[in-house]
A and B are shown apart, each in its own frame.
Chain A
Amino acid sequence: DTEVTQTPKHLVMGMTNKKSLKCEQHMGHRAMYWYKQKAKKPPELMFVYSYEKLSINESVPSRFSPECPNSSLLNLHLHALQPEDSALYLCASSQVGQSFYEQYFGPGTRLTVT
């Protein structure tokens, strides 16, 4: 199984809402990633987890809160977002040793903040 699943596929939320994005993989990968992708732009790295510990935070605002409860799951908790946070949020996983191993991406969650 080489699939990374993400739920929900689409999410519309108001600026005062709290919501969560979920990502799951069963490939035994111990590195997991969150990316943000605006329309017609490349993905931008947000967070990296390695062995369930946060290893990279690319200066992401605190209204985005990642969580890695176990080796298969990655969550992104959202609170008090702004309309400019509307984007496609991509999850990926890989074996640790990130420079060498390929990443497997999920289909993304398309988020709209109203």
Chain B
Amino acid sequence: DAKTTQPNSMESNEEEPVHLPCNHSTISGTDYIHWYRQLPSQGPEYVIHGLTSNVNNRMASMAIAEDRKSSTLILHRATLRDAAVYYCILKGNAGKSTFGDGTTLTVKP
């Protein structure tokens, strides 16, 4: 299974942008890149996903490298409620999805 690599932790100041990187050098051509986040004592929550092009939604943006071996989740203005563990996941057609170890984001007021 394709694996993802993320930094263990990152810090941000409130209302500043945050760029969360993910490396996935063994991604296959049909794998979608998904991002989820998990707040304490909750199940993971979907954030965004894409295949090749950069994507945006109301929560975040994702930039995908041209060779698809890395991606970056962008939170445009971090709030205290964005403090969570962010997981970068590759999803293949077989239904398997392998979570990376995740990045713990701390947002400072």
In the complex the two chains form, what is the Cα distance from A101 to B61 in whole Å? 17
Contact B99 A42 (CB under 8 A): yes
Q: How many A-B contacts at CB < 8 Å in the complex? A: 59
Stretch in B13-21, B41-49, B66-74, B76-84 touching the partner: B41-49
Smallest CB-CB A-B distances: 8 pairs: A105-B43, A42-B99, A102-B46, A98-B95, A99-B91, A48-B95, A99-B32, A105-B44
A105: chain B residues at CB < 8 Å are: 36, 43-45
Within 8 A of B (CB), among A95-109: 98-100, 102-108
Interface positions of A (Cβ within 8 A of B) = 4, 31, 41-45, 48, 50, 55-56, 58, 90, 92, 98-100, 102-108
Taking the closest CB of chain B, its distance from the CB of A4, in whole angstroms, is 8
Give the size of the chain B interface in residues (CB under 8 angstroms): 25
A43 touches B49 (CB 8 A): no
The answer to whether B99 and A31 touch across the interface, beta carbons within 8 angstroms, is no
| Interface pair A55/B99, CB less than 8 Å apart | no
